């Protein structure tokens, strides 16, 4: 606040130590106005976080948030803030050096989330106009300068599309999972910058010299059930990773790798870059269709559904996108796949002479040349 960074109205409890009980939390919520968000003070990732839309639901939500925060972070301190309805989650990549230099490397839109955890990120955000984008960048740099920040960091913000207002959410004082999106649109090697700055060098580029080219999308590929979003531990029996122009896959696994219950189930970060957002989506669709992971369940089929969804293609989404469109994002089941393949086979027969029976003439028994790869591999994923 002292640095002029806009923040969501909130209450950290007496002395900033959280709430002693439900009565204190209810008083704070009444001052701020419902709906409110309860958040764990000691950590993030959506844990210890509850949306409350009425006073009679606050006490139960507070207890639940505190228990989850205690289990996850060893600290049950919970604070409260005004809930922004249908926000976008926009973050600004910042960098500071020991010489007082600070720049931003544009924004990432991280609004496609499940249980408040990012799943898909892209840059630039389809929600921002140039004026708002510039203001957010200026505020992010101001925040970094106010604490003498050195190294790579991210200023995360909630964006209210109805008012074009934005509010500081948190700062991640590290390089994030989604940093490849920024590297693809700027051409900057952020890890190289980290090493240079850590050795006392100045940031290599001035703000005006940091480019922004095209558009990039990242899909977090998880070992998880694509419907229930629950981890799917096990051994990866086979792995085929996409490649080609504009495709980048940052992975930590190979065939034979074991996805353990003790660690995050992320398999890789699949990224697509192109000179326009539409072309980047097309490339991502193709890459997702070629990606195969055997032996465990993954969310690849879910990502394919998102890349075909009209709201995502239009850039019209917010942090509630998955919950709101869950039924439409459920991957096709075996019956749907069989019907789709039967229709493709019928079309292929018609194209080759109408009455030709399968196995006769020169109709290929392998229809891989005509099947969309997403359908062909759905059951394997």
Q: Is 153 helix (H, G, I), strand (E, B) or coil?
A: strand
The number of helices, as runs of H, and strands, as runs of E, in the chain is 12, 16
Q: With contact defined as beta carbons under 8 Å apart, do 274 and 246 qualify?
A: yes
Which single residue is written with the structure tokens 């106010």?
Answer: 146
How many other CB atoms sit within 10 Å of the CB of residue 169? 21
Distances (CA, A) of 294 to 232, 258, 300: 12, 12, 12
CA distance 118 to 268: 14
Instruction: Report the SS3 class of residue 345.
Output: helix
Tokens standing for residue 263: 């660690």
- 309 burial level (CB within 10 Å; 0-12, 13-18, 19+): middle
End-to-end, the C-alpha distance of the chain in Å comes to: 47
139 CB neighbour count, 10 Å cutoff: 21
Task: Single out the residue of 174, 107, 175, 138 nearest to residue 6, CA to CA.
Answer: 138
- Helix ranges (DSSP H) in the chain: 22-32, 58-73, 130-146, 179-186, 190-198, 277-290, 300-308, 310-313, 321-324, 326-329, 334-351, 373-376
Q: Which residues are catalytic?
A: 174
What sign has the CA pseudo-torsion 167, 169, 171, 172?
A: negative
Q: Are 171 and 153 a contacting pair, CB within 8 Å? A: yes
Burial (Cβ within 10 Å: 0-12, 13-18, ≥19) of residue 162 = exposed
């Amino acid at each position: 606040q002292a640095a002029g960074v806009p923040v969501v109205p909130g209450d950290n409890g007496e002395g900033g130590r959280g709430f002693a009980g439900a009565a204190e939390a209810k008083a704070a919520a009444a001052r701020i106005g419902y709906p409110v968000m309860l958040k764990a003070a000691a950590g993030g990732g959506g844990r210890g976080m509850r949306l409350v839309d009425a006073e009679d639901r606050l006490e139960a939500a507070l207890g639940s948030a505190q228990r989850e925060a205690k289990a996850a972070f060893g600290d049950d301190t919970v604070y409260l803030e005004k809930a922004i309805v249908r926000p976008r989650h926009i973050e600004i990549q910042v960098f500071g050096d020991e010489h007082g230099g600070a720049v931003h490397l544009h924004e990432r839109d991280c609004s496609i989330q499940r249980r408040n955890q990012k799943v898909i990120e892209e840059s630039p955000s389809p929600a921002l106009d140039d004026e708002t984008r510039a203001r957010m960048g200026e505020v992010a740099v101001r925040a970094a300068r106010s604490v003498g920040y050195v190294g790579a960091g991210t200023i995360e913000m909630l964006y209210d599309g109805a008012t074009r207002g934005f509010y500081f959410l948190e700062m991640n004082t590290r390089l994030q999972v989604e940093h490849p999106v920024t590297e693809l649109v700027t051409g900057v090697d952020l890890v190289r910058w980290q090493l240079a700055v850590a050795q006392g060098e100045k940031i290599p580029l001035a703000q005006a010299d940091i480019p922004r080219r095209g558009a990039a999308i990242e899909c977090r590929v998880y070992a998880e059930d694509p419907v229930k979003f629950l981890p799917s531990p096990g051994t990866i029996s086979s792995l085929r990773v996409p490649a080609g122009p504009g495709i980048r896959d940052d992975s930590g696994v190979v065939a034979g790798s074991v996805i353990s219950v003790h660690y995050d189930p992320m398999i890789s970060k699949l990224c697509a870059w192109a000179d326009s957002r539409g072309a980047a989506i097309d490339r991502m669709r193709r890459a997702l269709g070629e990606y195969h992971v055997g032996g465990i369940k993954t969310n690849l089929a879910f990502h394919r559904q998102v890349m075909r969804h009209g709201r995502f293609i239009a850039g019209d989404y917010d942090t509630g996108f998955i919950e709101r469109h869950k039924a439409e994002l459920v991957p096709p089941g075996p019956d749907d796949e069989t019907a789709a393949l039967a229709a493709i086979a019928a079309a292929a027969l018609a194209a080759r002479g109408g009455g030709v029976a399968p196995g006769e003439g020169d109709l290929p028994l392998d229809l891989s040349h005509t099947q969309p790869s997403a359908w062909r591999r759905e059951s394997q994923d």
